[in-house]
Every structure is written in C-alpha cells, then in structure tokens.
Structure 1
C-alpha cells in the first residue's frame, strides 16, 4: 500500500509540473507533439545508470517514442482543436501508450529489469527478457505477475548498457503516426506549401524521415500540400 501511495504522489507531482509548462504556438511550431515530447523528456529525465520503479518506466523512453504516443493518443481521443495553441493529452490519458512502449522496450532488452523473486526473495536479481513474455506487469504496484500470482516484487527498470555499435538502419514511421502528423500539418499549412516545407515539418515528428517518405506521405494523406511549379506558399500563423 505504501508503494502505491508513493507512486500516486510521484505521478501527481509530474502532472502538476506538466501543467506549468508554457503553451506551444501552432503558428510558430508545426511539430508541436515532438517539441512537447522533448520537454517531457527533459522534465522527468533520469540520470544515466539510475533506475526507476516499473510504474515510471516511461521516464526512460526517448522523445521520438513519446511523440508517437502523443500523436496516437490525440488521434484516438476527443480533443478540441485550438487554432492558436497545441493541445496535449494529460499524463493519465498517455499512460496506456507509454506503458505499452515501456513493456516493448523491456521485452526487446532496451530496458533492463531487476526485481525480487516472489515473497520468499530478499534481494533484487536481473530478470532476463526471455522470462518476461509469460508475465503481466502490474504497473500500479510495480510487480510482475503470472496467472494473478506475484512472480516478482519491487520491480525496477533502467536503460540497458550500450552494446557494440551496429549499423543503424532507417525505418519507416508507422502509418498511423505518419497519417496523424500529416493531419496536424495540413491544419495549419496552405495548399501548395510544397515538399520541402512539409519534409522539414515532418522531421519534427520523425527526425530520420527521408525526403522520399515525406513525398509519399503527401501523396497518401495530404495531396493538397503538393507544391505548384512557380508558386511559393508561406505558412501563416493562425489569427
């Protein structure tokens, strides 16, 4: 019960600190969700090598993952459209997406997990990624369960040590995230704004997106933004 109480206090404090962040202008920033994600990473950052309880594993996610979570939550919810400022979901609304991303990072070994084995255990030990698929996280109590039985208690998470440097391949953004981002850009961009401006705006959501991927996104989700030869459109700030 004490652990649950401490977790609720920590979450409430984060909610309060997020509420104090200044608004983000739609006119000045096409990539509001990514900018907000960067601010959240800075707000709740965890020093290198430190761990957090399972309940706060989302604090170890990077800005790109957070931006995707914000976009998906906005797309699935009924949020008002303010023409002046970006509106963002509350931390409570974001948590399902953040928990799913955190769990996937643990399953893939990006985040390492330590815990006390059942009620008889006394010390934390590493929980290998291969052990996790049969378990279910109890986010509120920072436990891992199997068939409603507590398997691991006081679960804590940290970033896994960096391994050998591997060649990094560019991957395409998820179609749902890309469609949501294009929808937001289209709301405040005039018709015919052109590929280069849309590409730069998309980089705020997906830093590694290629020019070809941006061109394909325009064709699939917002063909009205395609530039017209001999015409240069400007993005105006909303009144």
Structure 2
C-alpha cells in the first residue's frame, strides 16, 4: 500500500516531467507550434508562388527599337505577300496596260533626241566592293548595298565594317575600297521587286534610247560633297 501511495505521489504531485509524462498543456502547445510552423511554411510558399506568377505576368518593357523592328517586319511581310498574291493571280485579271513609251511613239511619233542623264537619290544607288578585308573573300565586285542584301545575314559585322567610313578622313578606311555600281543597273532596282528607275528606263528604250544616249550618274551616297568631288 505504501508503495502505491509513493508512486501516486511521484506521478501526480511531483512535476510531470520527472515521471516521463507530459501534461496536456505541453502537448497542446507543441502541437500549436507545429501547426504555426506549417502555416508559416504554407504562407511563405504561397507568397513565393505569387511573386513568380507576378514576374511572369508582368509585361516586358517595349522599347523604341522593338517598335521599329516590328514596323519594318510588318511592312516587309505585307510587301512580299502582296507581291506573291499579284504573281499568283491569273493573267486575265491583271492585264498590263499599254506602256507610255509605246503610246507616245505611236500617237505622237516621239523618238530619242537629246541624251538623258538619270541621277539616283540617296541610298538608292548600289555599292560594290573592289578591295576589302580577309572576311570579304568572294565579294569582289559584288554588291554590298542594293540587290538581295544577303551579305547582311551571312556576315553582318564584315558588311558593316566595309560600309563604314573613316572617322577622320570621311573616306574608306585603309585597305577597303567600296565604289558605286556603274551603268544603268546602279539604280534600276533597289531590291528584288522594288524598282526605282527600271520603269522609266524601259519606257525610254521604247522610243529609241539606249546606253549610248542614256546614262546613270551613279555616285557613292555615303561621301560628303567635297569627298565625292575628290573621288571623281
């Protein structure tokens, strides 16, 4: 009996920790701490996910360069689509009317009389390479400006280096010679499907003009007036 009372005293009168048992309040406090910790983890994970979604949904800053590239891309795409549609249509739907050269020759009897000199505008004249760096192998007398512009995609840095002028002299850098394309082909077409002087040259040919009395005054549009006069 005495041993039972002693055991009871130890278990219920003395602190519960000494008997190896925990009180109900201690258990509940630990459970609450665990729940609070889990809630904090869930809240932090939720906030982290919201921040990631916010960053993903945040629109990218639209720069002026992006707008220019987008506009150029839209214009080029629209132009090529219209050109493709034009060539896909049947011939009966887009019959070409009689050219002015033929009509003037037939109705008014016009013929070639005075020589004609065509002066292309800025950036419409073609430029070709006569001497360049090692990166320009295979481009001798090939167009760097005008035509298909394929060299811009193949070797853009080399293309830019050869079209750039010297900072001090305003001429071609040493070891590089870029000259204007001679003849009527210098500015008849700026790019495939984009004519400049081709239609006028064709109509002048209908009334008797040819290369001996029809000239294209091609020039290097990159140079200043003084340097252009010096080069010519």
Q: How high is the TM-score relative to the length of structure 2?
A: 0.23
More helix by percentage: 2
Query: Which has the greater radius of gyration?
Result: 2
